[in-house]
Amino acid sequence: MQHRRRGIAVVINQVQFRGMKQREGSDRDRDKICAALEKLHFQVQVFQDLSREKLFSGLQLVADVDHTQHDCLVVVVMTHGSEDVLYASDSTYKVDRLWEMFLGNACPTLLGKPKLFFIQACRGEKFDEGVLLKVDSIVTDTVDARGAKEGPQSLLYVIPTMADLLVMYSTYKGHYSWRNPSNGSWFIQSLSTELAENGDQKELMQLLTTVSRRVAYDYRSYVPDNARMDAMKQMPCIVSMLTKALYFTPKQPAP
């Protein structure tokens, strides 16, 4: 993370849809996550209410950028979804299409660099009722995962196509993802808060574990007129193929 620039962060905010209910509260999520990413010196681009064609045309333009002097790539998606499917304003697309154009030889200037995707969307219609847990005390262990520095080397490696990709879903497969019409979604609000407060201090997986804990412990649905949806919980899910510990080390804004 010592390149000239932090990199591009794409924030995809889908509020309006053809034939589907609008996602109230998502603009609040957009504003908060943009502020957190800008604080970490990302160059933020917002894709607002795009059709599928315009969405992937925009992502292809990002993939075509020369990322040589960038540390990494971040893509945040906030939309409706179901199992393995996300919604643009006019139609659906498979979730893995989001990162296909940034992997392997499809985007050579991002090879060996972290590609981080955060997805706020339902992944089904199941609800998590939660279970009671008695907690006598809370102990937080902090682990420093940084290794010793090595001298300059000129070595070539063959790495897997999927290397250095991380996807964090707001909920686990088959389940509903909660969003407050006034305050935004549980996941994006928690992610934004943690990035803003500790983004340049903690290692990424430690940050995201804290995000998971915030969502799991601090939120519970309140829909008293609907017993099926009331008092439900949510558990984010992380799929990591990162090959190194990741720190957003402090950086001066690029000129």
> Is 122 among the residues known to form the active site?
yes
Among residues 167, 50, 34, which one has the least CA distance to residue 99? 167
- Residue 205, SS3 per DSSP: helix
Q: With beta carbons less than 8 A apart as the criterion, state whether 65 and 108 touch.
A: no
Assigned token pair, 241: 């193929």
Assigned token pair, 165: 């990709």
Catalytic residue among 80, 107, 175, 237: 80
Alpha-carbon span 178 to 230, nearest angstrom: 11
- Residue 184, SS3 per DSSP: strand
The residues, any chain, with a CB within 8 Å of residue 135's CB and separated by 6 or more, are none
> Is 72 among the residues known to form the active site?
no
- Residue 10, beta-bridge partner list: 45, 75
Catalytic residue among 34, 72, 107, 122: 122
Tokens 């190194």, residue? 244
Distance of CA 103 to the CA centre of its chain: 17
Tokens 């010592």, residue? 2
Torsion angles phi and psi, residue 31, rounded to 5: -65, -40
Could you list the active site residues?
A: 80, 122
